[in-house]
């Protein structure tokens, strides 16, 4: 049940039916309102007399109608907005100079007062409980109304000669604050104000209880920081504010090093001690508006509103220095890996922001420490396509983002093609290896599949005496043979059982996606299109995507098809262990001449034992 539902369930009323009551309004209060229905109250607003607490009333004032209008304000999502609307209703009926609500804060031993005047101006001040002679403190301590002819005790320049009444806010037999009504005729309207203060108290208390409940739902029990769910909600809210206000926003990811080793060698209690210590020091050393959370088992995340990349680096440097000063018995100094990403410099989307922060964190982990300090990495700093960066990206995909949306993948391809439109020949294989690793990482059961298929294909090409230049092209094409899987949903790629007809239709698109979306836009890679697009064609014409038969299938694609099948047969899958070489070879022999080229199969079988698993 969300906050709005909680409040709604407590405040549903039928204001036009005197017999229907709201649980948030006490029965005593309702009976008071009902008793006032039969007789009119008068309002002193137009009295020609000088304004004082003893002036005669002269205008009809319907107390019940005021209460009904206030009750209709429910449900609420913002307490200050509720207070403003209550004051608006008061102003419609009474010429009130101002209205104030003060909630007691036990931790700081003060009352935080929010005052609003009839022009809509809002003022805030604190009244400390040690000020025993302050009438606000007196009303709170005695639970009695206090009348004053001026408000100089508030120390607010614009409010001096305003007759007021200060009323305690009582909820569940406990005073939670005070309400102040500025009214020249406060004594005559006291009964109405008492009812309003009680109602405001109950609404405020209910709102606080709901917020506390939500806080516990979103709080990690060990660290007392936000949990993953709470972090996601806070980041969504803060990112929306940043977009609206056109401000920067940064995210810091911290990975506490060696927690797995500590848990294994010293027990989980010691690991929890380290995590708790890091969390406590992060909480103490971040800025007032920063938001810290436990993002994963040994990972913390911090949201930094209105903070650029460079500013986030300063915060991260300060945090890592503060943490490095702590020495834990049997563990040593605390070490963390640190990654940063920022809106809008690095990404505009929440999911991309988190992925880039995690990627930067993994790069930080790979770089290790210098002079005992962590390498602080921002996603704005590193080359996205270098080997460490791509492997870190692959680790993020494999570990946490199995349901990564197609939009990010398409952006990845666009970036790949833009950055490598005319790459040097010496760099092509290096970049292709990293990209293939990122694709393979989407499924941990096919880890290194592309690299293995590339090696097997090159070995077969060399065994039939192809020119070295063609062997190199086949090796590269085999490395990227599955690159089209970047556009296939994880639910299809990772399905443990047989694919349905609809899922097969989706899966069979990956050769075309690889050829047209990845290779075609890049002039350096277009020569590989026949390999990538046709490696699932069959000699008998029953393959895909175009149903080519023997003579129409390029030789390079035939070679990759055999290597691809062999590695798939001999590697572990979620639903079976990898087959022996003998079993895999027998399957290739059975399909020779129908699925695969018979001559190529014979040659591959002769070299298979030397390839290893």
Q: Environment class of residue 221 by beta-carbon count within 10 Å: exposed (0-12), middle (13-18) or buried (19+)?
A: exposed
Q: Which domain holds residue 105?
A: 3-216
**Residue 384 predicted with pLDDT over 80:** no
Structure tokens at 315: 């915060």
* Same domain for 154 and 43: yes
Q: DSSP for 206-239?
A: HHHHHHHHHHHHTB-TTT-SB-HHHHHHHHHHHH
pLDDT of residue 415: 56
390, part of any domain: no
pLDDT of residue 440: 62
pLDDT of residue 235: 94
Query: Residue 125: left if φ>0, alpha if ψ -120 to 50, beta else—which one?
Result: beta
pLDDT of residue 8: 30
**Of 25-39, 302-316, 428-442, where does mean pLDDT reach its minimum?**
25-39
* Same domain for 105 and 68: yes
* β-strand pairing of 164-171 with 59-61: unpaired
pTM over 0.85: no
**Residue 24 predicted with pLDDT over 50:** no
Last residue of a domain, one of 152, 185, 216: 216
pLDDT of residue 25: 41
CA dist., res. 30 & res. 18, Å (int): 8
pLDDT of residue 368: 73
CB distance 26 to 202 below 8 Å: yes
Based on its alpha-carbon atoms, the radius of gyration of the chain, rounded to whole angstroms, reads 35
313, part of any domain: yes
CA dist., res. 77 & res. 8, Å (int): 10
Domain at 347, CATH number: 3.30.70.270
Last residue of a domain, one of 201, 216, 231: 216
pLDDT of residue 455: 92
pLDDT of residue 15: 34
Domain at 556, CATH number: 1.10.3210.10
The candidate with the shortest Cα–Cα distance to 224, out of 277, 279, 268, is 279
What is the average pLDDT value for the chain, to the nearest integer? 79
395, part of any domain: no
* Same domain for 266 and 206: no
State phi, psi for 455 to the nearest 5 degrees: -65, -45
Last residue of a domain, one of 350, 382, 414: 382
pLDDT tens for each residue of 52-97: 443 444 445 678 888 888 888 888 778 889 999 999 999 888 888 8
CB distance 136 to 111 below 8 Å: yes
Bond before 506 cis per omega within 30 degrees: no
pLDDT of residue 394: 58
* Same domain for 377 and 241: yes
477, part of any domain: yes
Residue 6: which pLDDT band, with cuts at 50, 70 and 90? very low
**Residue 50 predicted with pLDDT over 50:** no
pLDDT tens for each residue of 219-256: 888 888 999 888 999 999 999 999 999 999 999 999 88
pLDDT tens for each residue of 295-351: 988 889 999 999 999 999 999 998 988 888 877 777 777 788 899 999 998 888 888
* Same domain for 184 and 91: yes
The candidate with the shortest Cα–Cα distance to 567, out of 416, 442, 458, 426, is 458
The predicted model gives 157-183 an average pLDDT of 89
pLDDT of residue 413: 59
514, part of any domain: yes
Q: How far apart are the first and last CA of the chain?
A: 54
Q: Given CA atoms 169, 171, 173, 174 in this order, what sign does their dihedral have?
A: negative
Geometric angle at alpha carbon 188, from 185 and 190, rounded to 5° = 100
20, part of any domain: yes
Bond before 532 cis per omega within 30 degrees: no
* Same domain for 283 and 331: yes
CA dist., res. 349 & res. 360, Å (int): 16
């Amino acid at each position: 049940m969300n906050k709005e539902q909680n409040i709604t369930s407590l405040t549903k009323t039928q204001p036009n039916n005197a017999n229907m009551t709201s649980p948030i309004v006490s029965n005593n209060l309702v009976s008071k309102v009902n008793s006032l229905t039969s007789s009119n109250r008068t309002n002193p607003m137009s009295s020609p007399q000088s304004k004082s607490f003893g002036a005669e009333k002269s205008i009809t004032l319907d107390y019940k109608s005021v209460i009904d209008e206030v009750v209709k304000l429910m449900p609420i999502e913002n307490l200050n907005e509720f207070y403003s609307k209550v004051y608006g209703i008061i102003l419609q009926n009474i010429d009130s100079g101002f209205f104030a609500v003060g909630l007691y804060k036990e931790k700081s031993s003060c009352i935080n007062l929010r005052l609003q005047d009839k022009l809509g101006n809002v003022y805030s001040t604190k009244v400390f409980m040690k000020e025993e002679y302050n009438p606000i403190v007196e009303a709170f301590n005695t639970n009695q109304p206090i009348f004053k002819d001026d408000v100089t005790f508030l120390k607010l320049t614009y409010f001096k000669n305003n007759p007021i009444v200060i009323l305690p806010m009582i909820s569940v037999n406990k005073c939670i604050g005070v309400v102040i009504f500025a009214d020249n005729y406060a004594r005559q309207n006291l009964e109405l104000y008492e009812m309003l203060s009680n109602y405001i108290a109950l609404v405020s208390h209910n709102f606080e209880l709901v917020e506390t409940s939500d806080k516990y739902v979103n709080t990690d029990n060990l660290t007392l920081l936000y949990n993953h769910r709470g972090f996601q909600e806070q980041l969504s809210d803060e990112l929306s504010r940043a977009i609206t206000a056109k401000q920067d926003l940064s995210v810091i990811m911290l990975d506490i090093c060696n927690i797995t080793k500590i848990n294994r060698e010293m027990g989980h209690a010691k690991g929890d001690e380290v995590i708790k210590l890091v969390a406590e020091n992060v909480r103490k050393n971040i800025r007032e508006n920063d938001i810290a959370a436990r993002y994963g088992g040994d990972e913390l995340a911090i949201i930094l509103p209105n903070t650029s990349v460079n500013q986030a680096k300063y915060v991260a440097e300060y945090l890592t220095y503060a943490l490095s000063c702590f020495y834990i018995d049997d563990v040593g100094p605390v070490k963390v890996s640190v990654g940063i990403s920022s809106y809008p410099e690095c990404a505009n989307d929440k999911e991309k922001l988190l992925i880039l922060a995690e990627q930067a964190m993994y790069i930080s982990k790979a770089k290790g420490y210098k002079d005992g300090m962590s390498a602080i990495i921002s996603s704005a700093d590193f080359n996205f396509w270098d080997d460490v960066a791509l492997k870190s990206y692959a680790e993020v995909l494999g570990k946490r983002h199995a349901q990564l949306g197609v939009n990010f993948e398409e952006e990845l391809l666009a970036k790949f093609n833009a950055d490598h439109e005319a790459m040097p020949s010496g760099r092509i294989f290096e970049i292709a290896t990293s990209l293939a690793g990122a694709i393979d990482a989407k499924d941990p059961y096919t880890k290194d599949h592309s690299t293995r298929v590339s090696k097997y294909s090159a070995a077969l090409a060399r065994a039939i005496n192809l020119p070295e230049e063609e062997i190199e092209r086949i090796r590269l094409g085999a490395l990227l043979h599955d690159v089209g899987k970047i556009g296939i949903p994880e639910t299809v790629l990772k399905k443990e059982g047989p694919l349905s007809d609809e899922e097969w239709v989706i899966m069979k698109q990956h050769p075309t996606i690889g050829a047209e979306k990845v290779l075609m836009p890049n002039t350096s890679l277009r020569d590989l299109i026949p390999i990538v697009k046709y490696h699932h064609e069959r000699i008998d014409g029953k393959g895909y995507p175009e149903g080519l038969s023997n003579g129409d299938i390029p030789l390079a694609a035939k070679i990759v098809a055999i290597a691809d099948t062999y590695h798939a047969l001999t590697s572990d899958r979620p639903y079976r262990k990898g087959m022996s070489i003998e079993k895999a070879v027998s399957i290739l022999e059975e399909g020779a001449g129908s699925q695969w080229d018979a001559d190529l199969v014979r040659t591959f079988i002769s070299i298979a034992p030397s390839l290893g698993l």
